[in-house]
Amino acid sequence: MTELPISADLIAERNALHAEALEEDYAALGRKLSRTGIDIDAIKDRVAGFSVAVPSWGAGRGGTRFAKFPIAGEPTNIHEKLEDCAVIQQLSRVTPRVSPHFPWDKVSDFTALREEAAALGLGWDAVNSNTFQDQVGQAHTYANGSLSAQDAATRQQAVDHNIECIEIGRQLGSTDLTVWVGDGTNFPGQQDLGRSLDRYLEAASKIYAALPDDWRMLLEHKMFEPAFYSTVISDWGSSILAAQELGPKAKCLVDLGHHAPNVNIEQIVARLHRFGKLGGFHFNDSKYGDDDLDSGSINPHQLFLVFNELVEAELNPRDGFNPSYMIDQSHNVTDPIESMLSSAETITQCFAKAQLVDRAALHAAQEANDTMMAFQALRRAYNVDVAPILAKARMEAGGAIDVLEAYRLSQYRGRKAQERKAVGLGAGIV
Ligand code: LRH
Ligand code: MN
């Protein structure tokens, strides 16, 4: 194991200062929960087993079409991104995997990259293909779509790229391929809405055929952007029908920001699970469009309700129920490491709160049409401050009780600003 980026002494020193208060808070919460028959240590063990992957592309500053404002010391390649992801894992102890994106994270030796990550205490989650941008020297443009393009050679190029991502993923030890395509139209009539999907399905089936036995293909739907009139895989309905058409290894990935405002996303989770097609999540938050804001920063209650459905799903498993939990955010105004530390905490909090729901009371109230008591069963759990449980699990795993304090005191970003070359001004997501 390479020496981790943050000094273990600093973490131990700060934890020593916070340990007594944490024990006090933990004991008090333990007494409170035991009054309702909940064993706090059992919840802590569940939290200790929880994890969420971080996106390699989230380690750098993100931007919009208008501008991107880099920060000094932000990563400029996958090696520096891995170092930053290792900081998040070292302090939080809930983010042991990185979800890479190709060709953004392309290197010449993926076995070496796998070892480099392992030495930093990191593994790999789903690999993401990219047929929404043209690369220098690319034979066929994706301006008119990729997997659904009119041009057969363009579709084949997109298929080949996805198969290349599977091959890279196999070398990294990943078993999931996330396929999001921006394919769609900006004008009525621009493309035939039926034939576009047919072309997508024909091309996607070639990617599906290349999947190793233990792999999954995660279809990511999105309502709009970059297309603003129609999108080929625009909603969970199109996604589940495509996944059913492709086969059992095709599942649906729910990016929380890919829906119209106020859509009931927790119900989409319940539906996808009901039909055995819930493959994973891209956690983030939004107020308007695909804002890619920090998870739970706008609507933490929705995130809690999503995890509430995931607990119900675990109690009623369908074949292959093993959702991938991944963050997918764009950090336009914060230090990306701080945002992912904060987001990992919020996601884990919602997971923990969902474990606290008195399922027997909830189900009894539902069966009795006792609306208020059913709602209160969820609200009681949501109102519990689970921070002591998360901090204790984190400390016991070698992490920091106060992750942001430890990160700032480490002056990691300042050190990287000295070491790393400056990132130029620009625009766009990465
Ligand atoms: C599309 C998306 C997709 C990624 C990209 C970075 O909006 O959510 O998951 O490929 O962001
Ligand atoms: Mn996404």
Residue nearest atom 11 in ligand 1 by C-alpha distance: 328
- Cα 148 to ligand 2 centre (Å): 19
Indicate the DSSP class of residue 423.
P
Residue found under tokens 């109102």? 383
Task: Give the position, in ligand 1's atom list, of the atom nearest the Cα of 220.
Answer: 9
Residue 139 burial (10 A CB sphere; 0-12, 13-18, 19+):
exposed
Examine residue 226 and say whether the peptide bond preceding it is cis (omega within 30 degrees of 0). Answer: yes
pLDDT in tens, the chain (430 residues): 668 999 999 999 999 999 999 999 999 999 999 999 999 999 999 999 999 999 999 999 999 999 999 999 999 999 999 999 999 999 999 999 999 999 999 999 999 999 999 999 999 999 999 999 999 999 999 999 999 999 999 999 999 999 999 999 999 999 999 999 999 999 999 999 999 999 999 999 999 999 999 999 999 999 999 999 999 999 999 999 999 999 999 999 999 999 999 999 999 999 999 999 999 999 999 999 999 999 999 999 999 999 999 999 999 998 889 999 999 999 999 999 999 999 999 999 999 999 999 999 999 999 999 999 999 999 999 999 999 999 999 999 999 999 999 999 999 999 999 999 988 887 776 6
Residues with Cβ within 6 A of ligand 1? Answer: 57, 128, 180, 220, 222, 255, 282, 290, 328, 429
Examine residue 103 and say whether the peptide bond preceding it is cis (omega within 30 degrees of 0). Answer: yes
Task: Give the position, in ligand 1's atom list, of the atom nearest the Cα of 292.
Answer: 8
Bridge partner list, 230: 185
Cβ atoms of residues 127 and 174 within 8 Å? yes
Task: Give the position, in ligand 1's atom list, of the atom nearest the Cα of 429.
Answer: 6
Cβ atoms of residues 216 and 236 within 8 Å? no
- Cα 152 to ligand 2 centre (Å): 26
Per-residue CA distances from 322 to 195, 207, 242 (Å):
33, 21, 19
Which listed ligand is nearest to 177 at the C-alpha?
1
- Cα 210 to ligand 1 centre (Å): 22
Please report how many Cα atoms fall inside a 13 Å half-sphere around the Cα of residue 63, on the Cβ side.
Answer: 14
Task: Name the 3-class secondary structure at 57.
Answer: helix
- Cα 51 to ligand 2 centre (Å): 18
Task: Give the position, in ligand 1's atom list, of the atom nearest the Cα of 430.
Answer: 6
- Cα 143 to ligand 1 centre (Å): 17
CATH hierarchy code of domain 50-341+404-419: 3.20.20.150
Task: Name the 3-class secondary structure at 219.
Answer: strand
Cβ atoms of residues 292 and 328 within 8 Å? yes
Sign of the CA dihedral running 283, 343, 286, 229: negative
